[in-house]
Amino acid sequence: MNTPLPRRDVLALATATGAALATLPAFTASAAPQRPTTAETAQGADPRHELWWQAPADDNSLIEQGLPVGNGRLGALASNDPGHELLLLTDATMWTGGLNDTLDADGQFPYGRDDFGSLTLLARLAVDLPDHDLGAVSGYRRALDLERGVVTTSYVRSGVTYRRQIFASRPDDVIVLHFTQSGGGRYTGTVTLAGTHGEDPDVSFGAAFPNGLKYGAAVTARSTAGRVTVDGDHISFSGCKDLTVVVGGGTNYAPDAARNYRDPSLDPRKLARAKVRDAVAHSADTLLRTHVADYRAESGAFGLTLGASTPEQRSLDTWERIRARARDGEPDPELEAAYVHFGRYLMISGSRGSLPMGLQGLWLDGNDPAWMGDYHTDINIQMNYWMADRVGLSGCFEAFTDYCVAQLPSWTDLTRRLFDDPRNRYRNSTGKNAGWTVAISTNPYGGGGWWWHPAGNAWLCNTLWEHYEYTLSRSHLEKIYPLLKGACEFWEARLLTTTLPGTTREVLIADSDWSPEQGPLDAKGITYAQELVHALFGNYLVAAAALKRDGGFAQTVAGLRKRLYLPQVSPTTGWLEEWMSPDNLGETTHRHLSPLVGLFPGDRIRPDGSTPADIVAGATALLTARGMNSFGWANAWRSLCWARLKHADNAYRLIVNNLRPSTGGGNGTAFNLFDIYELGPGDGIFQIDANFGTPAAVTEMLLYSRPGHLELLPALPDAWAASGSLTGAPARGGFVVDLRWTDGRPTEVRIRSVGGRSTTVAYRGASRTVIVEPGASMILKGKDFVR
């Protein structure tokens, strides 16, 4: 046995580095992981929760073919090539840029990789096995186990079966590659770690960006039988019966505006070396069991089945199945459910204890991700987190909450100093300026990018609010209250009073703004802002009452809300107006559904008779006009809106559209199930939002909820009607629902309270009122919904 540490001097390192930042999510020293006491069984993975492929990824196509792993902060795309395992590692905080508080000449924010910044790669890790060239192995298979969060590759070389597992452990805060074999084989090769910002290969490295962010990474390896040595800038191993490679790293980012988002005491290289050293001291089996227990705990008790697929469909690998689904046009209910489980996997892997996921989550293939891989506040970050509560991953939502809370001081400061810049076309013409708002893009340093986005504050708040509605968590409410209040203050200062033409009615409208991302730049009273602020004010009133705070301000907000103008239907187009104009001032099939935020994610527009019929008809007409053939997130949003309108066929068709295989950079689902957006002909980029928005739409078709009201199977398509179940699914109002159906009808629904006390439960016009104490549950049967 020979298990050298990455460098000879590693033993001299302090065992613990950096002050623990108690509540701050970051790459920090942490307490020893809790180890499970039960044995992990590797067998018996449910094939419905396994994605599998018969070919590895190309080094140059990892974004479409690499398999993602992540521990919520540290992520990687893995090639799974037998002879050349390549991992591109990303840390959620690996951001260039900074506060970016010098506006351009037009009063807007610079948007470059140096000023605003960009998410970038942390490192590249390669494990080379010269004798395991892909052309020389047989029976290649790789799989992603969505129940355990493990990537497994296996193949046969000269009669020996080789197997490797890759997983990203949150408890041990490292990524582990475990190589085993059966049949008397041996591993001989090298492990090479290198930075992607000019750092030379080394078993550990540390460096800093011009913005002062320090980062570092380290790798180590051990074998229970064989020779492992540090050989200059890399690790060499030979004659190893097995091999465990542990890689880790991170930055000294700290989510704290007061400290300029840095922890100066943290040495990332040193910490990375300590973490890989600590981890490799445990057996790979122990590391795996620890990871799986942690992953399962986060994954929780959620379940989703949409019916049975055919044996023919089950026999296909995931990519063949995606292609067959599109080619044959036959529903593949298990594949469609697996897409939801894959979205859950990405959420658990990408959003825990650090920054939230931006446009690509933790998965990059270069240092120049489209739109910086940033946080887009005019749909994309909201869509990323619509799914979390709906699929029982409320814990993963916290990264988004913590981000907003940590950014608020900077957002407030920038708004105070810069929003009323006379060059900013979106400034308040009232002459007043208060609270906070954001730009369309935000970074983790309090900075904005591109244009001001006045209503962005409301949409962020409304998204944070929905998490409260699902969980009724008072601590969450207390965390987000300052965000809500500041946003209300912003709008109190911004709203204009106007008299509606032809009437004497005075209303409040939003000042000059741009309905994302089309039409006039200086429209007053855009539907997007009116709807979002209307919802914001309503949410704030509930929050202030629940926390018994700011009664006077709440009264002011209530007064503002009553006077808010709400959009009407255009007599010209018959559509719900996007601008305060009967005319269509933009693209008919534009990707954004900004004027429909009141339909989804809001619920001011309801097709249940509680909203004027003309508004529902206008919203439906507008949604129809927007079309059925867009791309990723735009399809997902459309699907969610059709689900709200109880139009199962349209909602399902849009999901199927997103499941179409992406080839040659086209829109759709890539080999690795990442959603691809065709930026230009042949130029496809990964945008993770649809990987979350599409699963959100699936659940929204099965269960609609708002506080006090649940609707079962509102948009169940024929493809899933035969039988299915949605279990452990949170519902707004403080409940968790287990729903089963057969032949298109609910057979049993169990409503468990996590804080809610009363709700109606409806199915096709039949309705029951359920009263249940927190912690208790009630079961309804299908016959309860017979009218």
Partner 1 sequence: MRSSSYSVLPARALRTAVVLALAAGAVTVAPAARAASADPAPIAAKPYMGWSSWSMQSSKYPGLNPDGDYSYLTEANVTKQTDALAAKLKKFGYEYVNIDAGWWRDTTWKPEYDRYGRQQADPKRFPSGMKAVADRIHAKGLKAGIYLPAGLEKEAYNDGRTPIWNADGCTTADIVYGDLRTTNGWDSSYKLDFSRPCTQKYIDSQAQLIAGWGYDFLKLDGVGPGSGKSGDQYDNVADVAAWHRAIATSGRPIHLEVSWSLDIGHAADWKKYSNGWRIDTDVECYCNTLVSWENSVDDRWDDAPGWTRHAGPGGWNDLDSLDVGNGAMDGLTKAERQSYATLWAIAKSPLYTGDDLTRLDSYGLSLLTNKEVIALNQGGTPPARPITPSDPQQVWAAKNPDGSYTVALFNLADSPAAVSASWASLGFTGKAAVRDLWNHENLGSFKDKVTEALPAHGSRLFTVTPHGTALAFTGYEAEASGNTLGGNASVADCSACSGGKKVGNLYLGGKLTVNDVVVPKAGTYQVKIAYVSGDARSAAVSVNGGGATHHKFPSTGDWSTVETVSVPLTLKAGSNTITFDSGNGYAPDIDRIDVPKSS
String of contacts with partner 1 for each residue 290-319, x by CB under 8 A:
--------------------x-x----x--
CB of 159 to partner 1, least distance (A): 7
CB of 137 to partner 1, least distance (A): 8
Instruction: Report whether 710 contacts 735 (CB < 8 A).
Output: yes
DSSP H helix total and E strand total for the chain: 17, 32
Task: Name the H helices within 424-496.
Answer: 456-471, 474-494
309 or 441: CB nearest partner 1 = 309
Among 138, 475, 503, 504, binds partner 1 (CB under 8 A): 138
Query: What is the DSSP-derived secondary structure letter of residue 136?
Result: G
52 or 553: CB nearest partner 1 = 52
140 or 553: CB nearest partner 1 = 140
Among 14, 34, 283, 327, binds partner 1 (CB under 8 A): 327
Query: What is the DSSP-derived secondary structure letter of residue 221?
Result: E
CB of 639 to partner 1, least distance (A): 21
Q: Which residues pair with 371 in a beta bridge?
A: none
Instruction: Report whether 777 contacts 749 (CB < 8 A).
Output: no
Cis peptide before 661 (omega within 30 of 0): no
391 or 656: CB nearest partner 1 = 656
324 or 546: CB nearest partner 1 = 324
181 or 407: CB nearest partner 1 = 181
Q: Which residues fall within 8 angstroms of residue 598, CB to CB, at 6 or more apart?
A: 527, 531, 534, 535, 567, 604, 605, 619
Between CA 484 and CA 482 the distance in angstroms is 5
Among 32, 102, 159, 198, binds partner 1 (CB under 8 A): 159
CB of 134 to partner 1, least distance (A): 4
Instruction: Report whether 188 contacts 131 (CB < 8 A).
Output: yes
Residues 703-742 within binding reach of partner 1 (CB under 8 A): none
Instruction: Report whether 505 contacts 453 (CB < 8 A).
Output: no
- Measured at the alpha carbon of residue 423, what is the angle toward residues 421 and 426, in degrees to the nearest 5? 80
- The structure tokens listed for 560 are 């503002």
**Enclosing H/E stretch for 278:** helix 268-280
The residue assigned the tokens 């096709």 is 764
135 or 422: CB nearest partner 1 = 135
Residue 162 in the binding site for partner 1 (CB under 8 A):
no
686 or 704: CB nearest partner 1 = 686
**What string of DSSP letters covers 610-663?**
TS-HHHHHHHHHHHHHH-S---HHHHHHHHHHHHHTT-HHHHHHHHHHHHSBP-
Written as one letter, the residue type at 458 is A
- The structure tokens listed for 54 are 């018969």
**Enclosing H/E stretch for 275:** helix 268-280
Cα dihedral 36/41/47/48 (nearest 10): -20
Q: Which residues fall within 8 angstroms of residue 353, CB to CB, at 6 or more apart?
A: 25, 72, 73, 170, 399
Instruction: Report whether 156 contacts 138 (CB < 8 A).
Output: yes
- The structure tokens listed for 191 are 């492990």
Query: Which strands sit side by side in the sheet containing 668-669, from one edge to the other?
Result: 668-669, 675-680, 683-686
**Enclosing H/E stretch for 741:** strand 735-742
String of contacts with partner 1 for each residue 67-96, x by CB under 8 A:
--------------x---------------
CB of 140 to partner 1, least distance (A): 4
String of contacts with partner 1 for each residue 94-133, x by CB under 8 A:
---------------------------------------x
CB of 313 to partner 1, least distance (A): 10
Write the secondary structure of 480-497 as one string of H (helix), E (strand) and C (coil).
HHHHHHHHHHHHHHHCEE
Among 3, 41, 158, 229, binds partner 1 (CB under 8 A): 158
Binding part of the chain for partner 1, among 234-242, 320-328, 567-575, 709-717 by CB under 8 A, reads 320-328
CB of 50 to partner 1, least distance (A): 16
Cα dihedral 266/270/272/276 (nearest 10): -140
Q: How far apart are the first and last CA of the chain?
A: 72
159 or 198: CB nearest partner 1 = 159
CB of 154 to partner 1, least distance (A): 11
139 or 264: CB nearest partner 1 = 139
Binding part of the chain for partner 1, among 137-145, 175-183, 332-340, 515-523 by CB under 8 A, reads 137-145
318 or 380: CB nearest partner 1 = 318
Among 135, 422, 680, 765, binds partner 1 (CB under 8 A): 135
Among 134, 225, 545, 547, binds partner 1 (CB under 8 A): 134
Between CA 512 and CA 107 the distance in angstroms is 14
Q: At 208, give phi and psi (nearest 5°).
A: -140, 145
129 or 615: CB nearest partner 1 = 129
CB of 321 to partner 1, least distance (A): 12
Residues 348-407 within binding reach of partner 1 (CB under 8 A): none
2 or 158: CB nearest partner 1 = 158
- By CB under 8 A, the count of residues binding partner 1 is 31
23 or 138: CB nearest partner 1 = 138
String of contacts with partner 1 for each residue 664-703, x by CB under 8 A:
-------x--------------------------------
String of contacts with partner 1 for each residue 31-70, x by CB under 8 A:
----------------------xxxxxx-xx---x-----
Among 231, 328, 368, 649, binds partner 1 (CB under 8 A): 328
CB of 436 to partner 1, least distance (A): 46
The residue assigned the tokens 């018969």 is 54
Among 76, 121, 137, 458, binds partner 1 (CB under 8 A): 137
Write the secondary structure of 67-97 as one string of H (helix), E (strand) and C (coil).
EEEECCCEEEEECCCCCEEEEEEEEEEEECC
615 or 685: CB nearest partner 1 = 685
Q: Which residues pair with 221 in a beta bridge?
A: 245
135 or 571: CB nearest partner 1 = 135
- Which residues in this chain contact partner 1 in the complex, by CB under 8 A? 53-58, 60-61, 65, 81, 133-140, 155-156, 158-159, 310, 312, 317, 324, 326-329, 671
